């Protein structure tokens, strides 16, 4: 990889509510987006990776009051806990947008609002209905449980009658449906595309687009009407373009990066990303995002994480105990982006020990040790190999030639990895890497360099060169998932990440400590 490319790549996470501190669900969205962003950077694409926080609304006001703080200081404090987590998780976002940022964010939604108004897509009306502050959304009777409470928050919704601005979403329904049907706006996985198309079969009701200042004093005032605050749709969804400079002087990032290549979202926010946001963009005559990846939920022991159940997993704990790469690995490899994924200590430890401490860690440690012991760390590609012979090798058959690792990598591992990464199936791309680890382990088992050294030094060097080469190219593929360990592998082989594999001589220095320390059962 590490080619040059003229392409740009724009990827976003949702912006997180800052009414509480981040949990593992938030960590998942971010790590998933980070893996994809790092992969695109490695392809040489100019990449912009955006994340941020959603800081307005009634729920924030309520949480701030409980904490005895002003909304601004409250959101400042909690936004920081998201940014701190990003540091810990080694998330490589290029920008972090906060919706309470008057300079960076407000001009975007304000400009959008004015455009909608000019188009005649906004009108004022009286809204009567039920509102759940926990969800920050208007509810219909259908959304409530038998007691008439919000099932997610176990609270009765408020009965509200108020003046709101409405957005004429109905006007764009057909166009949104068509864009999704023909994958102009691709929704992944296919089951989520179907879900959205199902929602689009019924006529859409226009959506409430503002709330009275008296009820929601903390937000972005509606341009030209100080009695109303923008409701979450225009305030929050607009972050994807405000962060690029839309609405501000010098919007060159907007010109360069919009439309987004991928919006990453969780399944609970599908409706407004797949229907409301495209409708807003159509109204503003802006291009639609190319893809929306809808991931599942991280469950804790098979159950939804909730404060009531007391099973909320704090990502900080895992990172502190098992390291950033260990935690990133689990989220990238053991969770499919297309369905729910479970995290428990047992599952974590089993996968970590099997695939990191043992798997890649063990392969790396024994290969580098042999290189040092038998060849003083300097392992050359011996003369027995020539390029044409490499072309003949077809993989690992019974009579497999011993000079085939580069060939196997180029023809089997890399295409599979890239195909899965391009399809956003990052866990399957990681599987391709660990399949390769197994192949390299098998290669050592077959050629037994630790015995061969006694009879044939030249052939042993060739065998070790091949495995080192395998580790060398592997580290590039691992870098989006476990960036620090990948760097360490390259470093120990005397090469930098991103170096193009050549017919190189490896200058090996085995690391002083294991790449991944095994977790003993009393530490789990």
List residues binding ligand MSP (CB under 6 A): 14-17, 25-26, 28-29, 54, 236-237, 239, 265-266, 268-269, 297-298, 305
Q: Tell me the two tokens of residue 471.
A: 């580790």
Q: Give the whole-angstrom CA distance, residue 25 versus residue 315.
A: 9
* CB 341, min distance to ligand MSP, A: 8
Nearest to 12 by CA among 101, 95, 107: 95
Nearer to ligand MSP, 157 or 470 (CB): 157
Q: How far is the CB of 298 from ligand MSP (least distance, A)?
A: 4
Measured distance CA(88)–CA(313) in Å, rounded: 15
Q: Which is nearer to ligand MSP, 130 or 234 (CB)?
A: 234
- 360: closest CA among 479, 264, 222? 479
Query: How many other C-beta atoms can be found within 10 angstroms of the C-beta atom of residue 156?
Result: 13
What's the maximum distance between 2 C-alpha atoms anywhere in the chain? 89
CB of residue 84 to ligand MSP, shortest distance in Å:
16
In the complex, minimum distance from the CB of residue 163 to ligand MSP, in angstroms, rounded to a whole number: 25
CB nearer to ligand MSP: pick between 297 and 447: 297
C-beta of 218: minimal distance to ligand MSP in Å? 14
Smallest distance, Å, CB 396 to ligand MSP? Answer: 38
Give whichever of 16 and 443 is closer to ligand MSP, judged by the CB atom: 16
> What does the alpha-carbon distance between residue 519 and residue 286 come to, in Å, rounded to a whole number?
51
Closest by CA to 450, choosing from 463, 438, 440, is: 463
DSSP label of 353: I
CA 405 to chain centre: 31
Q: Which residue is nearest to ligand MSP (CB)?
A: 266
Catalytic residue list: 23, 26, 132, 135, 150, 153, 304, 307
Distance CA 100, CA 267 (A): 25
- The DSSP result for 94-160, as a single string, is SEEEETT-TTTTTHHHHHHHHHHHHTT-EEEEEEEEEEETTTTEEE-GGGS-TTSSBTTTTBPPEEE
Least distance from ligand MSP to the Cβ atom of residue 411, Å:
36
The b-or-e profile of 454-475 (16+ CB within 10 A means b, else e) is eeeeebbbbbbbbbbbbbbbbb
Coil, strand or helix at 168: coil
On whether the CB atoms of residues 31 and 278 are closer than 8 A, the answer is: no
Helix and strand counts by DSSP (H, E) for the chain = 22, 18
Nearer to ligand MSP, 240 or 364 (CB): 240
**From CA 160, how far away is CA 206, in angstroms rounded?**
17
- In sequence order, which ranges of 409-452 are alpha helices (DSSP H)? 414-422, 426-447, 449-452
Q: Which is nearer to ligand MSP, 169 or 237 (CB)?
A: 237
Contacts 24+ apart (CB under 8 A), 173-177: 173/200, 173/203, 173/204, 173/279, 175/279, 175/282, 176/200, 176/274, 176/275, 176/278, 176/279, 176/282
Residue 2 or 186 having the CB closest to ligand MSP: 186
**Beta carbon of residue 95, minimum distance to ligand MSP (angstroms, whole number):** 15
Residue with tokens 């701190």: 84
Q: Which is nearer to ligand MSP, 17 or 329 (CB)?
A: 17
Containing 250, the helix (H) or strand (E) segment is none
Grouping H, G, I as helix, E, B as strand and the rest as coil, residue 10 is: strand
Distance of closest approach, residue 270 Cβ to ligand MSP, in angstroms: 9
Between 305 and 473, name the residue whose CB sits nearer to ligand MSP: 305
* Shortest spacing between CB 77 and ligand MSP, in angstroms: 16
Rank residues 179 and 237 by Cβ distance to ligand MSP and give the closer one.
Answer: 237
The candidate with the shortest Cα–Cα distance to 160, out of 226, 215, 229, 213, is 215
């Amino acid at each position: 990889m590490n080619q040059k490319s003229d392409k740009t790549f724009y990827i976003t996470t949702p912006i997180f509510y800052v009414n509480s501190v981040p949990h593992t669900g938030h960590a998942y969205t971010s790590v998933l987006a980070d893996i994809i962003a790092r992969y695109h950077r490695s392809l040489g694409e100019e990449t912009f990776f955006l994340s941020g926080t959603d800081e307005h609304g009634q729920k924030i006001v309520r949480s701030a009051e409980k904490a005895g703080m002003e909304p601004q200081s409250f959101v400042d404090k909690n936004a920081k806990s998201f940014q701190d987590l990003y540091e810990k998780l080694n998330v490589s976002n290029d920008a972090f947008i906060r919706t309470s940022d008057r300079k960076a964010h407000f001009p975007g939604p304000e400009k959008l609002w004015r455009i909608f108004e000019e188009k005649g897509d906004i009108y004022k009306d009286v809204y009567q209905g039920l509102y759940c502050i926990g969800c920050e959304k208007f509810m219909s009777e259908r959304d409530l449980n038998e007691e008439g409470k919000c099932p997610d928050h176990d609270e009765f919704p408020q009965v509200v009658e108020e003046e709101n601005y409405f957005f004429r979403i109905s006007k764009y329904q057909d166009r949104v449906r068509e864009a999704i049907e023909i994958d102009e706006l691709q929704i992944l996985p296919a089951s989520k595309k179907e879900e959205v198309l199902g929602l689009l079969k019924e006529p859409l009701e226009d959506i409430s687009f503002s709330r009275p200042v008296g009820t929601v004093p903390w937000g972005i005032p509606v341009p030209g009407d100080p009695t109303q605050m923008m409701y979450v749709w225009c305030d929050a969804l607009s972050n994807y373009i405000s962060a690029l400079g839309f609405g501000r002087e010098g919007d060159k990032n907007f010109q360069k990066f919009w439309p987004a290549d991928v919006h990453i979202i969780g399944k609970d926010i599908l409706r407004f990303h797949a229907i409301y946001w495209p409708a807003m963009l159509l109204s503003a005559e802006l291009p639609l995002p190319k893809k929306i990846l809808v991931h599942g939920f991280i469950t804790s022991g098979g159950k939804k994480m909730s404060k009531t159940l007391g099973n909320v997993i704090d990502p900080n704990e895992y990172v502190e105990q098992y390291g950033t790469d260990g935690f990133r690995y689990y989220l990238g490899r053991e969770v499919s982006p297309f369905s729910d994924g479970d995290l428990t200590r047992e599952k974590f430890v089993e996968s970590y020990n099997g695939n990191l401490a043992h798997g890649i860690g063990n392969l790396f440690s024994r290969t580098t040790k042999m290189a040092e012991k038998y060849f003083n760390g300097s392992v050359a590609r011996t003369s027995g190999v020539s390029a044409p012979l490499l072309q003949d090798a077809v993989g690992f058959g019974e009579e497999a030639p011993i000079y085939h690792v580069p060939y196997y990598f180029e023809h089997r591992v890399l295409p599979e990895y890239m195909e899965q990464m391009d399809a956003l199936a990052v866990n399957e791309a990681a599987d391709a890497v660990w399949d390769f680890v197994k192949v390299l382990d098998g290669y050592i088992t077959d050629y037994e360099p630790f015995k061969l050294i006694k009879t044939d030094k030249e052939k042993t060097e060739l065998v070790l060169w091949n495995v080192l080469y395998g580790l060398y190219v592997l580290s590039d593929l691992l870098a989006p998932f476990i960036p620090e360990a990948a760097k360490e592998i390259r470093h120990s082989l005397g090469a930098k990440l991103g170096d193009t594999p050549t017919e190189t001589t490896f200058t090996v220095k085995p690391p002083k400590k294991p790449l991944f320390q095994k977790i003993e059962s009393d530490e789990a």
